[in-house]
Structure 1
Amino acid sequence: MFEPYNVAIVPLIVGIVQLLKIYGLPAKFSPLAAILIGLVFGVFLLADNIKEGIIIGLMFGLSASGLYSGGKNLMENGNRDSK
């Protein structure tokens, strides 16, 4: 069952994707990797049934990819503004 403290999985997914990128995952595939990892967490660890797991996993994976891209854009815009 989904609990509010499970949201801590989102930064964990971001960290796993960063590790995959260090080990050779092309950056263009990082959103897909985040969604797939989210699905794994949702289906196998968090939900009691497959449908709920898919929805929760997609929510976590999409949140993680948005968190990563938002942080990346913030850093790029911050560097551009300081010049």
Structure 2
Amino acid sequence: MDTAETSTGTAYDTLKVQVLNGSGTVLGTLATYSNLDAAPGYTQRGFDLSGYAGQTVTLKFTGTEGSKYQTSFVVDDTSLDVS
């Protein structure tokens, strides 16, 4: 994640990772990242979805950016491991 934001205390730009059921209802938010989490390069993230076993769910990534400075949230190489 890269940002041009200069604030060290306010989250102007966010990326939410949510789990939705078949009707589109949010069952949970797995993570919320913001310009405050900026770091150079790529960072691998993982989530435990075992609480949703047996259900049909959708993972939703929602980015929201303020109007002043750019923050780049990059989602790449997603995968799901089932055991």
TM-score when normalising by structure 1: 0.32
TM-score when normalising by structure 2: 0.32
Bigger helix share: 1
Bigger strand share: 2
